[in-house]
Amino acid sequence: MTRLYDRVAVIGLGLIASSLIHAMRRADLAGTITGYDASALHMAQAREDGLCDMLADSAAAAVQDADLVMLCVPVGAMGGVAEEIGPHLRPGATVSDVGSVKRSVIDAVAPHLPPDVTFIPGHPMAGTEYSGPRAGFAELFDGRWCLLLPPEGCDPQALRQLRALWTGMGATVEEMEPDHHDLVCAVISHAPHLIAYTMVGVADDLRRVTDQEVIKFSAAGFRDFTRIAASDPTMWRDVFLNNKDATLEILGRFTEELFALQRAIRTGDGDMLHDYFTRTRAIRKGIIEAGQDTAAPDFGRAKTRPGE
């Protein structure tokens, strides 16, 4: 691959950020990579592992002379970081992010950026339940989608360059409008995480069971809930607070569906249940056919990270 950026600044050094760095290095897409994280632990781990070419003492220092700045902090922190780095950005630089909520991030970040800086919000549709600079791996984006949300009048060269970066890291890029993005993500990611947190919370309330049978005999269904519910709490707190309207809309529809299933179970309507499960089973088939998962049995699927 052709080197796309001479100097990249990565603000926040968690799972996505560290995977970005590994993926950029794998394909030699960037020259010098400078990193910063507000967590002293993350900075110490990044320094010990040689994650970045340079580690800065602040976000403002990290973005000095950077061609590309990637904001990889929780969505609730985006505005504060943008305010800090705005005066220090190089004219002509590109700023992007990896947050899973877009409208609130755009509203929080865009006002703090100079007019000679191009802001292209982004969202790689990839991740694991792990977090921190040691959780990342270069293959995270391989075969996954990255959604870019260029504003009206976006610099076409900056957009082409950012698209090339993501494709060079293994992702397939598609462009989307912010509000539509937030509704889609509420369906495919945000609501499922909230439901998983709720189900594990219900089990935790039943401590008599949780301390014995639920933990001891956990199988596919509940085990997968616990995997999702192990995701970073700060990140998901901010996701729900910053995608409130779309999440509440989807939860309202979920509640209606749940009531319909409750009624079918209560009245013994086996035909309704069978038809419903047949339709939802087809969704799973579509996900496999789209290459977003494998049909291998659960215990036989490839591990999430290399070496596990």
Q: Quote the pLDDT of residue 231.
A: 75
Local confidence band at 187 (pLDDT 50, 70, 90 cut-offs): confident
Q: Quote the pLDDT of residue 1.
A: 65
Name the CATH topology of 180-268: 6-phosphogluconate dehydrogenase C-terminal fold (1.10.3660)
Q: Quote the pLDDT of residue 306.
A: 40
Task: Give phi and psi for 9, each to the nearest 5.
Answer: -110, 130
What is the residue extent of each domain of the chain?
5-176, 180-268
Tokens of 301: 């699927």
Tell whether the model's pLDDT for residue 293 goes beyond 70. Answer: no
The residue among 1 and 60 whose pLDDT is bigger is 60
Domain 5-176 matching CATH 3.40.50.720: the answer reads yes
Cα 125 to Cα 99: distance, rounded to the nearest angstrom: 10
Q: What is the mean pLDDT of residues 91-102?
A: 96
Q: Which helix (H) or strand (E) holds 7?
A: strand 5-11
Please tell me whether the overall predicted TM-score, pTM, comes out greater than 0.85 for this model: no
Q: Dmax of the chain from CA atoms? A: 67
DSSP letters for 242-306: HSHHHHHHHHHHHHHHHHHHHHHHHHT-HHHHHHHHHHHHHHHHHHHHTTSS--S-GGGSPPSST
Tell whether the model's pLDDT for residue 307 goes beyond 60. Answer: no
59's CB contacts (< 8 A; 6+ apart) are: 11, 36, 81, 84, 85
Helix count (H) and strand count (E) of the chain? 14, 9
Q: What is the mean pLDDT of residues 170-186?
A: 92
Q: Quote the pLDDT of residue 224.
A: 72
DSSP letters for 75-131: GGGHHHHHHHHGGGPPTT-EEEE--S--HHHHHHHGGGS-TTSEEE-EEE----S--
pLDDT (tens digit per residue) in 230-252: 777 887 788 888 888 888 888 88
Tell whether the model's pLDDT for residue 98 goes beyond 80. Answer: yes
183's CB contacts (< 8 A; 6+ apart) are: 246, 249, 250
Cα 20 to Cα 28: distance, rounded to the nearest angstrom: 12
200's CB contacts (< 8 A; 6+ apart) are: 225, 226, 229
Tell whether the model's pLDDT for residue 280 goes beyond 90. Answer: no
Beta bridge partners of 69: 9, 95
